[in-house]
């Protein structure tokens, strides 16, 4: 699994002009599933995200996690994170899992995060929907997080 994690002051996700998720300070996580991903990758990412120490402490150092600051997380599925853009001008998406494989893993990631942080602190986009994502990036701080088993055409072995 591959995730782009953005520290935000606020974020909102809408589908067809209907708001489906909103947080204040926290993490906006765009996540993509690879064909070889399974429950182990979901569990790893569900443990990693709440513990990332990327929020400022009293001294201004990045020493606090979203869990410690009481922040929220929004998870948005984004298969395009597995795009291979090395050849030509049209990205190849063969590195992304098919929806039938990816959706249950995405939903399980959201469930595990809600189990850990509480339903009210974890929002989600709608898998496969055309979404509008608005965010106020804080820092900016943006990380690429990959599960240890992630390998794809655009990843070094």
CA distance 45 to 125: 17
Q: Is the dihedral of CA 122, 127, 129, 134 positive or negative?
A: positive
Chain segment 99-152, per-residue pLDDT in tens: 999 999 999 999 999 999 999 999 999 999 999 999 999 999 999 999 998 654
Active site residues: 78-80
∠ CA 8-11-13, nearest 5°, is 145
Domains of the chain with bracketed CATH: 2-146 (3.50.80.10)
Entry field: residues in the chain: 157
Secondary structure class of 149 (helix, strand, coil): coil
pLDDT of 79 > 70? The answer is yes
pTM for the structure as a whole: 0.92
Give the list of residues 6+ apart from residue 51 with CB closer than 8 angstroms, or none: 65, 67
Secondary structure class of 61 (helix, strand, coil): coil
Give the list of residues 6+ apart from residue 132 with CB closer than 8 angstroms, or none: 13, 14, 15
Contact 62, 142 (CB under 8 A): no
Q: How far is CA 150 from CA 3, 7, 85, 155, in A?
A: 11, 23, 17, 8
Give me the mean pLDDT over the 61-82 stretch.
97
Give me the mean pLDDT over the 25-44 stretch.
98
Helical pair 39-51 and 99-117, crossing angle rounded to 10 deg: 40
Chain segment 84-93, per-residue pLDDT in tens: 999 999 999 9
């Amino acid at each position: 699994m591959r995730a782009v994690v953005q520290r935000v002051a606020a974020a909102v996700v809408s589908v067809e002009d209907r708001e489906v998720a909103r947080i204040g300070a926290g993490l906006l996580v765009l996540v993509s599933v690879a064909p070889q991903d399974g429950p182990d990758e979901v569990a790893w990412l569900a443990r990693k995200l709440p513990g990332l120490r990327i929020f400022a402490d009293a001294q201004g150092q990045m020493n606090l996690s979203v869990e410690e600051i009481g922040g929220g997380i929004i998870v948005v599925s984004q298969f395009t994170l597995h795009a291979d853009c090395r050849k030509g001008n049209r990205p190849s998406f063969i590195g992304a899992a098919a929806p039938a494989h990816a959706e249950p893993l995405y939903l399980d990631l959201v469930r595990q995060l809600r189990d850990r942080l509480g339903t009210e602190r974890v929002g989600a986009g709608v898998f496969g929907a055309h979404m509008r994502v608005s965010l106020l990036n804080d820092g900016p701080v943006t990380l690429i997080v990959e599960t240890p088993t992630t390998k794809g055409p655009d990843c070094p072995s």
